[in-house]
Structure 1
Amino acid sequence: MLDGRSGFSMLTVVPLIVLTALLGVLLRSRPLPALALLLAGWAAARTQMQNPEIAYLQVLLGDLAVGYIAAVHPRRTSVPAAALAFGAQLGTHLSSFGQTPGRAVQLTAFLALATLAAWLAGDSVRERRTHAEALSARAAEQAVTAERLRIARELHDMIAHSIGVIAIQAGVGSRVIDTQPAEARNALSTIEATSRETLAGLRRTLVALRKPGPGPDGESGPAPLEPAPGLADTERLVASARDAGVRAQLHRRGEPRPLPADIDLAAFRILQEALTNVVRHAGTDACRVTIDYGDGEGGGEVAVEVVDGGVGKLPEGGGYGLVGMRERVALLHGDFTAGPLAEGGFRVAARLPTPAGDAR
């Protein structure tokens, strides 16, 4: 019952409940003014109704408000809010009854600990949320960086090889166009085929970049019209190197088998970039390309290698090609080596682990 005998007054309690609800809504947008009004209202109720339940509610609601403010607002707002709540609660309780010094110290310590606990709880919630948001932003930034590097590797590996072949064939054609028209026509045919292949690769990359993300039903947009290249296309790479004047010999070990798309593409790009370096930098007319599929049991691995007998030097400035190959292998948790050989020449080798039950 709400009556005078119990110390409650209906005319005071009902407006107080309504005021508390309204001020609770304002704590997010106007934390300090709302908290001040909330504390003032309950302090007035405390002085009007000398009832222990009112005292407990005043402390509970004040500390809940402090915890909420600490959870959604920075410390420059929550710390003054905690100080305001502690001061208002302490002043109200000390002035309501005559307190002995010992009782006053106990009351002060209790109110301080309660307010501090509420503030720490709210502040820890805010810190966890802020940390989670920072981790999410960092992950998004890393994803963007990784995607940018992936696109850069794809464009470099795809275009550098083709442009190298085109440049060499254009030079051959310009030198023999008057004396050997048939050879010049062959060079132009190679340039045309290489250009078309490069344009198709660029188109495939642009289609993948323009592909919309998952729709409302969770399904992605249309897939690229052409499949990504893989080790099955190695013969084409070897033929392209031969057209550029390098006799590339292809050796396969083990039984060819379907590989996961990312491993298949990475192995192809590594061979492509290694052959491009042979054509452009090695100063030799021969190289050996090896693909080792292993036994394929229990996952196993696939290894690719390109060895030439050229000058045995790194490309000028190291080049982005070797960096891109190393990044590809690292992303797939494989091993990569590239460097001059003691007997002369240069070797590029990569070993990529393949999971059990691999499939394209």
Structure 2
Amino acid sequence: MTPPERPVWRSRAWLVAGAVLVVAAIVLLATGASGPGAVLVPIFVVAAAAGVTTWTLVRARKRRLDYEARLTTWAAEHATQVERLRIARELHDIVSHGLGVITLRASAARRVQGDIREAEREQALVDIEQASRDAGTELRRMLAVLRDADERGAPLRPVRSLADLPAIVDDARSLGMEPRLDVGELGDVSPGVQATVCEIVREAVANTARYAGPTTTHVDLRRDDDTIVVTVEDDGPRGAWSPTPGAGHGLAGLRERAEMLGGDLSAAPAGTGFRLTARLPDGAHL
């Protein structure tokens, strides 16, 4: 969706007015300074100039008002589309994460053999129930906000910060994964970048769970001058793990989040696993 083009003045009114003035000057020269043209021509010139100027101003104002109306309509439509994309990303994060946890936990429990099989299955059911409850709670919160944006009692999910990052990484242990978190010296980090880092790590870990299953995942967070760099890398699937692909929107959503902050995100195979790296500009420490 592109904004409307600004109006460009292409009127021939001034050319016509110039031609009229030239004709008036010729008439004045032909009739002489003492003839009737000496009185009528100047009056005609002044009237023509006033008429052309008035017409020009009226037309310019009309075109400007029309442009402003089209620009307002475009801005409203653009804002609506942006909000729809934001809601779609939120819903994707909630559903994708919840279903990913359920799928991974059930698949891992099914593969357990030996004496601990029944105990592992019982624990898997507990984890699946909790994941379902959490996803349902998040969906109800989202729907409550969508029903009434002015509803004061609508519970909102708090904005995450880097203080939540250890818990986000540690949640992967319940999925049978072995997560590691390394955080370098970051200094002050703006709230927007903190929230984006948490969402990137959360979605990256969920993707690892779906595609690689129980494996080692390394999350590295550091500062490179005025840029926060977050890297999530896994060792790849172990044994006969069957990937559970998602809808394919998760990575695109993370890339959009990074680009909204002026950053970038890359993802590619690394050895036997996969590496995701996001670079987010942040000058809060300056």
Scaled by the length of structure 1, the TM-score of the pair is 0.58
1:187 equivalent to 2:118? Answer no
Alpha-carbon distance in structure 2 between the residues aligned to 1:202 and 1:352 = 28
1:222-272: per-residue Cα shift (whole Å, max 9, x none)? 674552333333333333323323222222222676x44432221111111
Task: Say if 2:210 is the partner of 1:280.
Answer: yes
2:74 maps to what in 1? 138
Per-residue deviation at 1:211? 5.4
Is 1:238 matched up with 2:169? Answer: yes
The whole-number CA distance in structure 1 between the counterparts of 2:97 and 2:113 is 24
Distance 1:357 1:206 in 2: 37
* Aligned with 1:158 (options 67, 90, 94): 94
1:266 and 2:196 correspond:
yes
Does the 8 Å contact 1:306/1:347 carry over to 2? yes
If the length of structure 2 is used for normalisation, what is the TM-score? 0.72
1:116 matched to 2:52? The reply is yes
Counterpart amino acid of residue 139 in structure 2: L
CA deviation string 1:193-224 (max 9, x = no partner): 222222232233334434545xxxxxx95674
**Partner residue, 2:222:** 292
Contact 1:253 1:294 in 2 (8 A): no
Flag the 1:249–1:197 CA change in 2: closer, same or farther, 3 A: same
AA partner of residue 183 (structure 2): R
Report if the CA contact (8 A) 2:144-2:155 is conserved.
yes
Deviations 1:86-139 (A, max 9, x none): xxxxxxxxxxxxx94675555444433322211111111111122122222222
Name the structure 1 match of 2:18. none
**For residue 69 of structure 1, what is the aligned residue in structure 2?**
none
Matches within 5 A, 1:303-342: 303-310=229-236, 319-341=248-270
The answer to whether the Cα contact below 8 Å between 2:258 and 2:280 also exists between their aligned partners in 1 is yes
Task: Give the partner amino acid of 1:308.
Answer: D
- State whether residues 255 and 293 of structure 1, in contact with CA within 8 Å, keep that contact through their aligned partners in structure 2: yes
| Structure 1 pair 260–199 and aligned structure 2 pair: CA distance change class (3 A) | farther
Residues in 1 aligned to 2:284 and 2:159: alpha-carbon distance in whole angstroms: 22
Deviations 1:36-91 (A, max 9, x none): xxxxxxxxxxxxxxxxxxxxxxxxxxxxxxxxxxxxxxxxxxx9xxxxxxxxxxxx
SS in 2 for 1:326: helix
Match of 1:350 among 256, 278, 285: 278
Q: Which residue of 2 aligns with 1:127?
A: 63
Distance in 1 separating the partners of 2:197 and 2:51: 62
Question: What residue ranges of structure 1 are gaps of 5+ in the alignment?
Answer: 1-78, 80-98, 214-219
CA distance in 1, matches of 2:284, 2:173: 36
Contact conserved, 2:187 with 2:285, CA < 8 A, in 1? no
How big is the alpha-carbon RMSD for the aligned residues of Structure 1 and Structure 2? 3.4
- In structure 1, give the amino acid aligned to 2:249: Y
Residue 285 and residue 174 in structure 1: after superposition, are their counterparts in 2 closer, same or farther (change >3 A)? Answer: closer
Whose RCO is larger (CA < 8 A, sep 6+)?
2
Give the unaligned 5+ runs of structure 2. 1-12, 14-34, 238-243
**Following the alignment from structure 1 to structure 2, what is the Cα–Cα distance between the partners of residues 291 and 270?**
11
Q: What secondary structure sits across from 1:158 in the alignment? A: helix
Mapped contact 1:165–1:240 kept (Cα < 8 A): no
Report the AA paired with residue 206 of structure 2. T
Q: CA deviation at 1:327?
A: 0.5
Q: Which moved more, 1:153-162 or 1:195-204?
A: 195-204
**Greater helix share, 1 or 2?**
1
Aligned length: 246
Q: How does 1:35-46 map to 2 (within 5 A)?
A: none
Q: Is the radius of gyration larger for structure 1 or structure 2?
A: 1
- For the residues of structure 1 that align with 2:168 and 2:90, how far apart are their CA atoms? 16
Percent identity between the two aligned chains: 36
In structure 2, C-alpha distance between the alignment counterparts of 1:149 and 1:110, rounded to whole Å = 58
- 1:284–1:308 contact (8 Å) kept in structure 2: no
Partner of 1:53: none
> SS in structure 1 opposite 2:233?
strand
Query: Contact 2:201/2:232 (CA < 8 Å) preserved in 1?
Result: yes
Amino acid at match of 1:345: G
- Cα distance in 2 for partners of 1:115, 1:159 equals 66
